A and B are shown apart, each in its own frame.
Chain A
Amino acid sequence: MIQAPYASLWCKSHFSFLEGASRPKELLAAAKTLGVAAVALTDRDGVYGVVEAHRAAKETGARLIVGSEVTIDDGSTIVLLAESRAGYANLCRLVTLGRRRSEKGESAVHWNEVAAHADGLIALWGGDRSVLVTGNDATCDAIAPALREAFGDRLYALVARHRRAEEPRQEARLRTRAGRHGLPLVAAIEVLYHDAARRDLQDVLTCIRHGVTLATAGRLTKPNAEHALASPAAFAALFADDPAAVRRTLEIAERCRFSLADLRYRYPAERLPDGTTTSEWLRQLTFDGARWRYGGDVPEGAAAQLEKELALIDELDYGGYFLTMWEIVRFCNQHEIYCQGRGSAANSAVCYCLGITAVDPVSMGLLFERFLSRERAEPPDIDLDIEHDRREEVIQHVYQRYGRTHAAMVANVIRYRPRSAVRDVGKALGLPETALDRVSKLLSHCGEIPAATLAEVGLASDGDAHRHLLRLATEIQDVPRHLSIHPGGFLLGHEPVSDIVPIENATMPDRTVIQWNKDDLEELGLFKIDLLGLGALTQLHLGFDLMERHHRQRFSMATIPRDEPATFEAIRRADTVGVFQIESRAQMAMLPRLKPRTYYDLVIEVSIVRPGPITGDMVHPYLRRRAGEEPVIYPHALLEPVLAKTLGVPLFQEQVIRLAMVAADYTPGEADQLRRDMAAWRQAGRIEMHRERLLTRMIAKGIEPAFAERVFQQIKGFGEYGFPESHAASFALIAYAAAWMKRHYPAAFACSLLNAYPMGFYSPATIVDDAKRHGVLVWPIDVATSAWPCTLEPAPESPHAFAIRMGLRYVSGLPSRDGARVVAAREQAAFRSIDDFAERTRLDEGALARLAEAGAFASLDPDRRAALWTARGLARFERPPLPLALTEETPAFAPLDEFETITWDYEASGLSSRAHPLAPLREDLAAQGLPDSAAVSAMEDGARVRYAGIVICRQRPGTASGVVFMTLEDEHGFVNLVVWSRVFEQYAALIQTATFIGVTGRLQVEEGVVHLVADTFWPPRVRRTPSSGASRDFR
């Protein structure tokens, strides 16, 4: 018998956080397979999943209805479906109302608000949390007429069946009430998963949501597995006694004609000078900027490029977007906030002239089409880097300028990863949390959950709990857990944003966030501006300020000398600790090989140490060609213009795109699709779709099959992260400025770096030790002189004229308000004693003890233990109204030896300005025949080496086939280790946990780059274990 189809009108996905157990696309795909006429995605108080569902509907051909299950302030719910665009806007506004007045994660609207937003919405009133089922007659009779009046014939009574014993009684009540108020009945299942096999996961999600275990969940979990999307036959059988209610699902589906494709979005228009159009105003600002950039006369090439860009911007009506970015940059400039555009915007001469970016795309020959093209028909994407500690000022400015209704930040959906999956699923299964904590610490941030790891912590591998944990923790991976906030993405709208997507409160105060993430915005072609925090800009700003204050030298990124030889000489020596982008172990290993001499070399340096070029096997050919060791050849004459500036080797994303266009005749549309597929590299298979097309076309054009294959591998590699040239060009500017400052003003550089922390690759301890190796004096924290930040103090004995005085901010656990009290009291009069300090600052015992432990009382009492004893006594001492002499004598304590002094420094401030932790052990280590890093660097290639050092970095890049790179440090510098996966597996526990480690291996010296290839690891035999700053570990 052919069953009539039906529409499933009440479906909740993963985006009803911790309730629905299927992805929207799984629901849509199942609907298509089963023959369900339409699926209404009605997630709880939101439309978080509708974009994914919209995409899935387009792909599968299934029909999507957009809606939401809205929570009322009496605790009941009602399902609302968008009949039209107006209805969808009303739904978004209504949810925004509920969300904005509630705590994050909650929502509540009043019945009168539901009625006020009824236009264009269909209401399905029913289900076991609805007033129609659970309320008393009086409540029901009070609400129903108002809803009836607001919704008219768009109000239905929802008959939901899940084969529960109490449902017939509830349904009878609902039918009676529906009859009394003239509501037509419509059939539904509350769908929580696309397939009954997801029932277990749904139970677990429910437990996680309520913070209970499966054993104690009671009736919080559903009593059966009857919440799957039903086939038409099953649905018809379930409602066999009421076929009219089934038919009505189709009637409703027919009424709901709204699709996300109907969204029309307008970027906000800027407030313009009287009578000026957006286009005119942008043109005027651009050419004003061009004259500033090019020093009066705009070169012909640049003018032509500007004309071309402005014409396209005008044609696509993107002028408002550029004016917004210009306005934000202007705000930053007015408030002396460093900012710089990055990414593909650097391809635009207009952006350059508006001051948004700092790279001249005309002189660099950058590809504008990478930024904006007619064929692509997608909004431009300008990312603006802002000093990280002042970004909030800019964010609040945007809110203030556009208003909370027209501006909101973009969401970031937090999803389950192995560690969080094991913790939450394990808790739901009732497993001991201490065991779960243990297992989660052994897991990586992403990837599989190995069964052996569970067994390792004592969760028996043959037990039910182990089996369920493994199965469900794997199944829950990638399931959305909660909504977070994008680092800096804003959605701005000419019309209120809440007409497009609901806005809710973020956890951070004064932040509001939309319910969609950046991929959703891209899918719908909505404009996003990105205001990103960048520590390097903070560091440069602080550094330039220090230079102006102490060296009387006023510089900025724009005015420092270009292509300065001494700076590049330092860069070639890999003297780049703390230098943005070129400070990592891998970058430092590349610098002596690539030997940068110009700014453009730096652009290449920034790009080349990336997974894209590395996995594409582009690095070595480029280096050989650069060194003249192999000829620069092009596989086809056509490719020469594309690859000329990188010696025939594709290094930038733009080149790969152009390569596809030139060598494989990709149309702009195909090339754009390739770019998107490269960007979506996490989704397996998208790049592979291009393989055959690329290879066939290249071979047809006379390119060698081997080269064609290599080009494809390079494209694939870029997919895993390759830099666009424009992006690298922006970053290289900052890298150069930082390197210049480090080379010429090392004290100001290190001081600013310490004040901008946290940022970068190295811990403050390494930054301080590096500064000292450059002859910078670093003086310890002292309450007599230290400010809150690190400062420069005149030091005639220093070659750099100034010494760094460590700031009070480096006293671990000392709040900034306490630091301010110290500085304020000192400004009144110098401290005479610790007693005087305690009396005038009124700091508590903890703060006094922390200062004493950090050695900050050294100028008042050089004995740190005695200072600590005194500080502890003073804080508890009840001060008499009149000053009285204290009679207590300080006992004699054993003075700290050098090792203890450094240990105290590390414990109290995470670093030591006095000496490196290995300095006091050097004699001991030398006696064991262990060289220092300077001696290791001087050894010859192939030498056998035994060495011991502090671990400051561990890295296991995905591109290195399991090889681990480590950096060890001592008082003379670094030793870089290469650990093959076989060796790593053998010594994994020691490598992963030791802070001070011994290694035996063979030295590899190549072009001045020294690596120790490890054979064995061992714990060094020393009397005392040295302190260390935390190792920075990366994947």
Chain B
Amino acid sequence: MDRMACVDVPAFPLQILLRRHPEWRRLPAAVVDRDRPQGILLWVNEKARTLRVLPGQRFATALSLARDLRAAEVPSNEIERAVAATADRLRRFTPGVEPADGEPGVFWLDASGLEPLFRSLRRWASLLRADLADAGFAATLVVGFDRFGTYAVAKSSARSGLVLFDDAASEREAARRIPLDRLALPPSVRDALWKLGVRTVGAFVDLPPRGIESRFGEVAHRLHRLASGALALGLSPAPPAEVFAGRCLLDYGEADAMRLLVVVEDLLRPILAALARAGRAVLELRLGLVFEREGERTESLRPAAPTLDAAQLLDLVRIRLESIDLLHPAVEVSLDADAATATREQLDLFRERPRRDVAAANRALARLRADFGADAVSRAALRDGHLPEGRFSWEALDRLAQAVPRDVAMPPLIRRIYAEPVPLPTGSRRDVGDALGSYVVSGGWWRRTVDRAYHFAETNSGDVLWLFYDRIRRRWYLQGRLE
């Protein structure tokens, strides 16, 4: 490889944050590790830097330097997703893309042999930057020859945006002039070197390597070796995420579910074979249909457990195909699988049991999901609230656990709760006999005030109702019934 480039999306998590809060762009802003005054600043923008607000400071300290400093957390999974998406974008311009480990927003690119495709490296670089700008990221791109040289110059060229070196010597010379505090050094090392008057890469490189290692540790030493050229690392492009997918264009439109199932089966077999080679199993299957006139549709299907069982998967596809109205013929079918490693427990799910076959129940629930949609199976989970509807919530049930029934001496009365309290018509009072109450539940003033007086009332017909009078709306509601 004779050419290498480095993309720096400065303060990458901060740019993610600023996409979330565009009103903060004109202020000093920072990403913190936690939303506390003691939270550590991880990334800061230029406005903050000019006020000497630097990564590594505590938020409270930084606030004393920049009184209008804005800060929030950016979760690591959000950063990871953005890094992966950005790497995918960059792959449109070069197959060799290496996201920097531990420094989100930095990517090394293989820039060799691209001139014929893009007419010139400058044009390639300009197109690439424009593409990142479309994605909402301001980036610096340096095209040069060396991993460290391009990186160092990229980290210090926030305003210039694009730098192209024609020879390695000028790249090396430019790198020596780079302020050290632009590089990803631990703050303690950065400050210690600053104290010693070591402010540039050049001054850093001039220090003895053993002295660096013994005083500032492995990270600084590695950076020193990279900067001095003692350690030359080639590009280690990250492979694109493994894709387990297939697509089939139909010669003619097909609206029959069974015939579409045959097409799906043809797509599924090679996918399962690929998964098996990778030691993985289907976690979720996405079935894509493109129709002649009606546009397209994607259906998600999730087996009870990761599986390579084609019959089980096809059964789920069949149920789903039969449940949707295929008003228009499909002209394209695609299948795309998310994979997971199968565990022994998952395999156990298929083992036959004499009673209470949980695996069978889970398969049945999977069929229900296939038939009625992914949210069709849910269960009530207890919550710590005061209102009846606040004492539980519905959560998706992915997998049924083995039941462990308790012995109860005196079973309580069963209360059936309505999904929404039902307003009672005026005049219902005459149907009510004895009533207990009132029991008052009120609160929520910080969000939406609630004030209810609850009663248990027996109707003339013997039903026991669970009623409340809403003191704010001034009317009666039926919360549920007792059995």
> B390 → chain A, closest Cβ, in Å?
9
Max chain A Cβ within 10 angstroms of own Cβ: one of B67, B211, B215, B445:
B215
Q: B439–A434 contact, CB under 8 A?
A: no
Selecting from A23-31, A217-225, A246-254, A396-404, the interface stretch reads: A217-225
Q: B35–A432 contact, CB under 8 A?
A: yes
Is B223 close to A, CB under 8 A?
no
Interface string of B25-46 (1 = CB under 8 A from A): 0000000100111010000000
Is B416 close to A, CB under 8 A?
no
Is A877 close to B, CB under 8 A?
yes
Residues of B within 8 A of A904 (CB): 195
Contact for A865 among B39, B69, B196, CB less than 8 A: B196
Is A458 close to B, CB under 8 A?
yes
Q: B67–A993 contact, CB under 8 A?
A: yes
Residues of B within 8 A of A457 (CB): 68
Residues of A within 8 A of B443 (CB): 203, 221, 223-224
Is B82 close to A, CB under 8 A?
no
Q: A434–B37 contact, CB under 8 A?
A: yes
Within 8 A of A (CB), among B39-76: 39, 59-60, 63-64, 67-72
Q: A218–B197 contact, CB under 8 A?
A: no
CA distance A417 to B439 in the complex (A): 37
Q: A872–B215 contact, CB under 8 A?
A: yes
Residues of A within 8 A of B269 (CB): none
> B52 → chain A, closest Cβ, in Å?
9
> B445 → chain A, closest Cβ, in Å?
5
CA distance A168 to B436 in the complex (A): 10
Q: A214–B446 contact, CB under 8 A?
A: yes
Q: A888–B208 contact, CB under 8 A?
A: yes
Contact for B67 among A167, A218, A442, A893, CB less than 8 A: A442
Q: A219–B35 contact, CB under 8 A?
A: no
Also in contact, A225 and B59, with CB within 8 A (given A865-B195, A873-B214): no
Q: B59–A437 contact, CB under 8 A?
A: yes
> B481 → chain A, closest Cβ, in Å?
16
Is B454 close to A, CB under 8 A?
yes
Selecting from B347-355, B379-387, B397-405, the interface stretch reads: B379-387
Q: B445–A891 contact, CB under 8 A?
A: no
> B25 → chain A, closest Cβ, in Å?
13
CA distance A219 to B386 in the complex (A): 6
Residues of B within 8 A of A869 (CB): 196, 211, 215
Is A682 close to B, CB under 8 A?
no
Q: A223–B36 contact, CB under 8 A?
A: no
> A909 → chain B, closest Cβ, in Å?
15
Q: A876–B215 contact, CB under 8 A?
A: yes
Is B441 close to A, CB under 8 A?
yes
Residues of A within 8 A of B258 (CB): none
> B206 → chain A, closest Cβ, in Å?
7
Within 8 A of B (CB), among A132-189: 163-165, 167-168
Is A445 close to B, CB under 8 A?
no
Within 8 A of B (CB), among A451-471: 457-458, 464-465, 468
Is A953 close to B, CB under 8 A?
no
Q: B454–A853 contact, CB under 8 A?
A: no
Identity of the chain A residue whose Cβ is nearest the Cβ of B64 in the assembled complex: A441
Identity of the chain A residue whose Cβ is nearest the Cβ of B384 in the assembled complex: A218
Identity of the chain B residue whose Cβ is nearest the Cβ of A900 in the assembled complex: B197
Is B192 close to A, CB under 8 A?
yes
Contact for B195 among A164, A226, A464, A868, CB less than 8 A: A868
CA distance A225 to B445 in the complex (A): 11
Main SS at interface, chain B: mixed
Q: B63–A223 contact, CB under 8 A?
A: no
Q: A464–B197 contact, CB under 8 A?
A: no
Residues of A within 8 A of B436 (CB): 168
Within 8 A of B (CB), among A409-455: 429, 432-434, 437-438, 441-442
> A902 → chain B, closest Cβ, in Å?
15
Is B438 close to A, CB under 8 A?
yes
Is B250 close to A, CB under 8 A?
no
CA distance A810 to B387 in the complex (A): 60
Residues of A within 8 A of B72 (CB): 432, 434
CA distance A621 to B384 in the complex (A): 70
Q: B32–A434 contact, CB under 8 A?
A: yes
Residues of B within 8 A of A433 (CB): 35-37
CA distance A165 to B479 in the complex (A): 14
Within 8 A of A (CB), among B264-292: none
CA distance A215 to B384 in the complex (A): 11
Q: A891–B67 contact, CB under 8 A?
A: no
Is A894 close to B, CB under 8 A?
yes
- Interface size class, chain A: 35 or more
Q: How many residues on B have C-beta within 8 angstroms of the other chain's C-beta atoms? A: 44
> A845 → chain B, closest Cβ, in Å?
9
Q: A438–B446 contact, CB under 8 A?
A: no
Identity of the chain A residue whose Cβ is nearest the Cβ of B69 in the assembled complex: A438
Also in contact, A464 and B67, with CB within 8 A (given A224-B442, A226-B440, A437-B59): no
> A1022 → chain B, closest Cβ, in Å?
16
Is A927 close to B, CB under 8 A?
no
Residues of A within 8 A of B441 (CB): 223-224
Q: A889–B36 contact, CB under 8 A?
A: no
Is B133 close to A, CB under 8 A?
no
Q: B196–A434 contact, CB under 8 A?
A: no
Q: B39–A894 contact, CB under 8 A?
A: no
Residues of B within 8 A of A199 (CB): 445
Interface string of A854-884 (1 = CB under 8 A from B): 0000000000010011001100110000000
Identity of the chain A residue whose Cβ is nearest the Cβ of B213 in the assembled complex: A876
Q: B196–A868 contact, CB under 8 A?
A: yes
Identity of the chain B residue whose Cβ is nearest the Cβ of A894 in the assembled complex: B197
Is A885 close to B, CB under 8 A?
no
Q: A468–B446 contact, CB under 8 A?
A: yes
Within 8 A of A (CB), among B192-207: 192, 195-198, 206-207
CA distance A766 to B318 in the complex (A): 85
Residues of A within 8 A of B64 (CB): 441
Is A1033 close to B, CB under 8 A?
no
Also in contact, A891 and B59, with CB within 8 A (given A223-B386, A434-B35): no
> B149 → chain A, closest Cβ, in Å?
23
Q: B440–A877 contact, CB under 8 A?
A: no
CA distance A438 to B71 in the complex (A): 10
Identity of the chain B residue whose Cβ is nearest the Cβ of A429 in the assembled complex: B446
Q: B67–A438 contact, CB under 8 A?
A: yes
Interface string of B289-330 (1 = CB under 8 A from A): 000000000000000000000000000000000000000000
CA distance A221 to B444 in the complex (A): 11
Residues of A within 8 A of B36 (CB): 433-434
CA distance A468 to B453 in the complex (A): 25
CA distance A208 to B385 in the complex (A): 18
Q: A865–B214 contact, CB under 8 A?
A: no
Interface string of A317-346 (1 = CB under 8 A from B): 000000000000000000000000000000
Q: A441–B63 contact, CB under 8 A?
A: yes
> B128 → chain A, closest Cβ, in Å?
35
Interface string of B94-131 (1 = CB under 8 A from A): 00000000000000000000000000000000000000
CA distance A8 to B60 in the complex (A): 47
Contact for B60 among A437, A865, A877, CB less than 8 A: A437
Residues of B within 8 A of A877 (CB): 214
13 contacts across the A-B interface (CB closer than 8 A): A163-B453, A199-B445, A200-B445, A223-B386, A429-B446, A433-B36, A434-B59, A437-B59, A464-B446, A865-B195, A869-B211, A872-B215, A888-B211
Taking A434-B32, A889-B208, A891-B206 as known contacts, 5 extra A-B pairs with beta carbons closer than 8 A to each other, sorted by chain A number, are: A163-B438, A433-B36, A868-B195, A869-B196, A893-B198
* A interface list, Cβ under 8 A from B: 163-165, 167-168, 199-200, 203, 214-215, 218-219, 221, 223-226, 429, 432-434, 437-438, 441-442, 457-458, 464-465, 468, 849, 853, 865, 868-869, 872-873, 876-877, 888-889, 891, 893-894, 904, 989, 993
* B interface list, Cβ under 8 A from A: 32, 35-37, 39, 59-60, 63-64, 67-72, 192, 195-198, 206-208, 210-211, 214-216, 383-386, 436, 438-443, 445-447, 453-454
Those 8 A-B pairs whose CB atoms lie nearest each other, nearest first: A218-B384, A437-B37, A165-B439, A223-B386, A224-B440, A163-B440, A872-B215, A894-B197
